[in-house]
C-alpha cells in the first residue's frame, strides 16, 4: 500500500509548467498581422513583445487592476506597444489585430499541454492530494484549462487577476491556503519561475519545487536550491514528494 503523504495540497503554476503556447509569440503576432494585410518579421515582433511585456508589467503590475485598467485593455496595450516597437506606428491598423490576438490567446487551440502533465495530475489525485492553480494569469485561464481538459483535476483556479496580487506576493499563496483549508507546512507549490514560484511559495511557508526545461539552469539558482527540489520533468514530482516526508519548508 502507498504511504500516506505528508503533503495535502499541491498548487500549480500553469504557463511553462503544465501548458505552453504552441508557437512562439512572435510567430502568432506575425501570422495575425499578415491576415490583416501587414507584413512584420516574426523575430522582430518576438523581441518587441518581450520588451513591451516587461515595460507594461513594470508600469502596471498585475494587469493595472488598481490603476483602473482591465486585463483585456492591459493586453491590447501590450500588443499596440509590441507593434510600435517593431516599427508599426499605425494604431488604427493594429487595433483589430490586437483584439483578434486577445481572442486567440483565450482559445485552447493556441496552447498545448506539456508532456507528462496530465498523467502527473491524475496520479496526484489518485493519491488523495488536493490540487489547485496559482497563476499570474488573467480571467481567460479557467476556460483555457477547461478546453485543454485540465480543469477537472483542480479544486480551484486562483489567478493573480482574481486574487488582486501576483506571485511572488505571499498574499496570493495565503489566499490559496485559506481556500483549501490547509496549513502551509503541508502544502507544496510547483512552478518554473525561481522567483515567483520557488521562492514565492517558500516565503509563504510552503514547500516548493522548480520545474526546469532543457536549458542549463542559472548557476546562481542551481547552487541555491537543494537538488531534490529541482524537477527535470514532471515525472520526477511524485518521488520528490515522497522524499519530503518529515521535512519542514524553509527558504
Ligand atoms: Mg510559469
Count of other CB atoms within 10 angstroms of residue 56? 19
Cβ neighbours of 189 (radius 10 Å)? 29
Rounded to 5 degrees, what angle do the CA atoms 7, 248, 220 make? Answer: 105
pLDDT value of residue 243? 83
d(CA 9, CA 185): 10
SS3 248: coil
Q: What is the mean pLDDT of the chain?
A: 94
Return the pLDDT at 248: 66
Express each pLDDT in 53-93 by its tens digit. 999 999 999 999 999 999 999 999 999 999 999 999 999 99
Q: What is the pLDDT of residue 247?
A: 65
Strand partners, 10: 131, 188
- For the full predicted model, state whether its pTM sits above 0.75: yes
| Rounded distance from Cα 17 to ligand 1 centre (Å) | 6
β-bridge partners, 132:
11, 156
If you average pLDDT over residues 24-41, what whole number do you get?
97
3-class SS at 19?
strand
- The stretch 94-121 carries a mean pLDDT of 96
Ligand 1 center–CA 18 separation, angstroms: 8
Give 31 Cα–ligand 1 centroid separation in angstroms.
24
pLDDT at 27 over 60: yes
What domains are defined for the chain?
A: 9-18+114-246 (3.40.50.1000), 22-109 (1.10.150.720)
Q: Residue 132 is inside which H or E element, if any? A: strand 130-135
* CA of residue 194 to ligand 1 center, whole Å: 9
C-alpha to C-alpha distance for 104 and 43, rounded to whole angstroms: 19
% residues pLDDT > 70 (the chain): 96
Task: Tell me the CA–centroid distance for residue 214 and ligand 1, in Å.
Answer: 15
> What residue has cell string 509590441?
82
Q: Per residue in 136-165, pLDDT tens? A: 999 999 999 999 999 999 999 999 999 999
Q: What is the Cα–Cα distance from 250 to 117, expressed in whole angstroms?
A: 26
Amino acid at each position: 500500500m502507498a504511504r500516506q503523504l505528508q503533503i495535502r495540497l499541491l498548487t500549480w503554476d500553469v504557463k511553462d509548467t503544465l501548458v505552453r503556447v504552441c508557437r512562439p509569440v512572435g510567430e502568432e503576432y506575425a501570422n495575425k498581422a499578415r491576415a490583416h494585410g501587414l507584413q512584420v518579421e516574426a523575430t522582430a515582433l518576438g523581441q518587441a513583445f518581450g520588451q513591451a511585456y516587461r515595460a507594461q508589467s513594470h508600469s502596471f503590475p498585475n494587469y493595472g487592476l488598481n490603476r483602473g485598467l482591465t486585463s483585456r485593455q492591459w493586453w491590447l496595450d501590450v500588443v499596440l506597444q509590441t507593434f510600435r516597437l517593431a516599427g508599426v506606428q499605425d494604431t488604427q491598423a493594429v487595433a483589430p489585430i490586437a483584439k483578434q490576438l486577445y481572442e486567440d490567446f483565450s482559445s485552447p487551440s493556441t496552447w498545448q499541454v506539456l508532456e507528462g502533465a496530465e498523467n502527473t495530475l491524475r496520479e496526484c489525485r489518485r493519491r488523495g492530494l488536493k490540487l489547485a492553480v496559482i497563476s499570474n494569469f488573467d480571467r481567460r485561464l479557467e476556460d483555457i484549462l477547461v478546453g485543454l481538459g485540465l480543469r477537472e483535476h483542480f479544486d480551484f483556479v486562483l489567478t493573480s487577476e482574481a486574487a488582486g496580487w501576483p506571485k511572488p506576493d505571499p498574499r496570493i499563496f495565503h489566499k490559496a491556503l485559506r481556500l483549501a483549508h490547509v496549513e502551509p507546512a503541508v502544502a507544496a507549490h510547483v512552478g518554473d519561475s525561481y522567483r515567483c514560484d520557488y521562492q514565492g511559495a517558500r516565503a509563504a511557508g510552503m514547500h516548493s519545487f522548480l520545474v526546469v526545461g532543457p536549458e542549463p539552469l542559472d548557476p546562481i539558482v542551481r547552487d541555491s536550491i537543494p537538488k531534490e527540489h529541482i524537477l527535470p520533468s514532471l515525472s520526477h514530482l511524485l518521488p520528490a514528494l515522497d522524499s519530503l516526508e518529515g521535512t519542514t519548508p524553509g527558504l
